[in-house]
Amino acid sequence: MARVVVDAQAARAIGKGAMIVFKKGVVRVEGEIKPGDIVEVYTRGGKFLGKGFANPHSNIMVRIVTKEKDVEINKDLFRKRIRKANEYRKKVLRYTNVYRMVYGEADYLPGLIVDRFNDIASLQISSAGMERFKLDVAEAIMEVEPEIETVFEKNTGRSRRREGLPEIERVLLGKEKYRTIIEEGRAKFIVDMRGQKTGFFLDQRENRLALEKWVRPGDRVLDVFTYTGGFAIHAAIAGAEEIIAIDKSPRAIETAKENAKLNGVEDRVKFIVGSAFEEMEKLQKRGEKFDIVILDPPAFVQHEKDLKAGLRAYFNVNFAGLNLVKDGGILVTCSCSQHVDLQMFKDMIIAAGAKAGKFLKMLEPYRTQAPDHPILMASKDTEYLKCLFLYVENMR
């Protein structure tokens, strides 16, 4: 088995619980490595640190699966890890049939994400090594949770391309089923496996539910980057009189319209297919104002090198959003870019508020992803979602 020798900084990070070895932390490679190979990781002094999946062509050189030398990486190990992850969601968090079942290295299964939607599991793999075991993983999911009848392979996106993996979207195991209806508090949503990501953004669940307590009967609400209407539907259920929801994806908006009808709020939600920046500019030119503005954009920063441009994009969208909030209104603003930490995000919104002539007060403690997307304290990469509820006042 090939060896990867790492520097002192990488060794310390692994010792504290990190599960990823970046290429910059590698001192040398002993032996030949192909994408997906299992390798052992050592310090310069020859101390064993762990073993896992390697990809010499990726910025992430090794994804550590186990720190025990005698543990085999096989289906039995995956079954045990998936069972443990599932028990955490069901016993500790008390989720029942809709939740993130596996969240990568936070569940010691790097490169694997599994979302459960009733009897469908959506599987997403971003590691060449985990790709080799995907059928074993699918079988383990159905063994651990027998109510799951379909494992859908949602293997698309940038992370796959970066690993040199093909994009695949299909039923991997079980019944040919693509859609289901889930419940989230008082709301219901259609989940289509052929939509974005793993079918639905479960990470914002607690933040969508939190929105309801700030909505007053008769409010006007703007939901930008609505996708399938998550925040918009909750706002309507809480009593908002008029909601405008914007997304550039016609397919997402079609599902959002179905969701509005499913919840009996289609008469109060207006959906617009279009660019967020262009549509917000149109609203501002018409002098529109809203009691609540929600900004939940895609990750504007995919790589560290994109940080400056991405922060500018966040600034621009928040500046536009602040200009659409009434004096005494609320801005709910989010970022799902892992490279933008909380302080960067706060600095950005402070700057946007200053330029817009607004005082901003926190209504809620700093919010992040739902707890079924656990944050591994030793792994900064597992903490990515930031959400701020802000009271907006005009500077006088």
What strands, in cross-sheet order, belong to the sheet with 386-394? 269-273, 242-247, 220-224, 290-295, 325-335, 386-394, 358-362
Q: Give the Cβ contact number of residue 380 at 10 Å.
A: 15
Q: Give the Cβ contact number of residue 288 at 10 Å.
A: 14
Q: Is 336 a catalytic residue?
A: yes
Q: Which of 336, 360, 385, 387 is catalytic?
A: 336
Query: How far, in Å, CA of 100 to CA of 196, rounded?
Result: 15
Query: How far, in Å, CA of 390 to CA of 330, rounded?
Result: 6
Longest dimension (CA), the chain: 68
**DSSP one-letter code for 244:** E
Query: How far, in Å, CA of 276 to CA of 165, rounded?
Result: 31
Counting other chains too, the contacts that 260-264 makes at CB distance below 8 Å and 24 or more residues apart are 260/229, 260/232, 260/233, 260/236, 262/181, 262/188, 262/189, 262/190, 263/187, 263/188, 263/233, 263/236, 263/237
DSSP one-letter string for 15-74:
HTT--EEEGGGEEEEES---TT-EEEEE-TT--EEEEEEE-TTSSEEEEEEES-TT---S
- List all residues 6 or more positions away from 24 whose beta carbon is below 8 Å from its beta carbon: none
DSSP one-letter string for 268-306:
TEEEEES-HHHHHHHHHHTT--EEEEEE----S-SSGGG
Residue the block writes with tokens 């994408």: 35
Q: How many residues does the chain have?
A: 396
Q: What are phi and psi of 17, to 5 degrees?
A: 120, -5
Residues marked active site are found at 336
